[in-house]
Amino acid sequence: MEDYLVRIIAKDAGVRAIACITTDLVNEMATRNETSETATAVIGEAITGGALLGSLLKIKHRVAAKFDGDGPVGKVVVESDAYGKVRGYLENSAVNTLRDEAPIDPYGVQEALGEGVLHVSRDMRLPELVQSYTPLKQGVTDTLDYYLNQSEQVKSLIQVGTVLGEDGLVVAAGGILLQNLGDSKANTLALLQERLAEMPPIEEQLHNGTMPENILENLFAGIEYIYLEERPIRFVCTCSRERVEKAIIVSGEEEIRFLIADGGATVDCHFCHEQYEFDVDDLEEILEELLGEDDEDED
């Protein structure tokens, strides 16, 4: 089954809502990165959050969220566009902070992330990226919730989660995002929050076969809303040989000379693990290009 998100809007109630299922995506991430159970839960929650943040974007905009904590998982990066295309990676895919006895956070996501900051960078096709830094809270859900409410200053509610099976892959993953419409004075969000708290967590509902559209339907019972769209969510990497070349140029003359002396370079894309090979001839060409550009600058 394909992953997707659904978007609805309740105009009179002044709320928009997005719910998604990301089970296949999370398992693809787990397989690509050969993640431990903890790492699967961390990247699963983060990439689901990324997909939800992406759903708030206007077309051609992009968002990147970096969970930069001092915990054993290291940095966790997710990126999304407005079309449901997401990618992500984590530094330590072997991290294990499982806490079987703990009913809250059994996969040890909070401990794996540690303390630090969430750095969100939005490319809104302006001359500068729109950047924000908020503290890491208790796990991915709380961190993203704090970011949306504090940094974006829009009353929001987000919940992401995964259910792991015995083989270490997820049997369900997904999330929900509720947000007040700009000028809303209605207090529907508080009501929805209460209803959500009474329901099983989103990932449990998905695991039980309740699909995103049904979760929203149950949540919005008695509230008038319009069904806006259903959109697929999938892993797409934006890397290319050209982009890797640009990155090598940016690394500077000294680094390139070092790579040439080393007999070539293999660049591994953090996100999709595509390997880009550069032999000495390739690197010399890149160096020429770099030095050529420097000459132009001096004119």
CB of 63 to Zn ion, least distance (A): 18
Q: Which residues, in sequence order, are CB contacts of 138 under 8 Å at separation 6+?
A: 105, 110
Instruction: Say which amino acid occupies 207.
Output: H
Sole binder of Zn ion in the list 9, 82, 171, 269 (CB under 5 A): 269
Which bin fits 12, alpha (ψ -120 to 50), beta or left (φ > 0)? alpha
The region of 8-16, 174-182, 220-228, 268-276 touching Zn ion under the rule CB under 5 A is: 268-276
Map the footprint of Zn ion across residues 134-163, applying CB under 5 A: none
Contact pattern for Zn ion over residues 220 through 259, marking x by CB under 5 A: -----------------x-x--------------------
94: helix, coil or strand? coil
Cα R_g (the chain), whole angstroms: 21
CB of 50 to Zn ion, least distance (A): 15
190: helix, coil or strand? helix
Residue whose CB is less far from Zn ion, 164 or 237: 237
Q: Which residues, in sequence order, are CB contacts of 258 under 8 Å at separation 6+?
A: none
- Tokens 């829009």 correspond to 154
CB of 240 to Zn ion, least distance (A): 8
Instruction: Say which amino acid occupies 209.
Output: G
CB of 276 to Zn ion, least distance (A): 9
Q: Which two tokens stand for residue 148?
A: 């949306």
CA distance 32 to 34: 6
CB of 237 to Zn ion, least distance (A): 3
The region of 27-35, 160-168, 218-226, 269-277 touching Zn ion under the rule CB under 5 A is: 269-277
Q: Does 272 bind Zn ion (CB under 5 A)?
A: yes
Residue whose CB is less far from Zn ion, 79 or 111: 79
**Residues in contact with Zn ion by the rule CB under 5 A:** 237, 239, 269, 271-272, 274
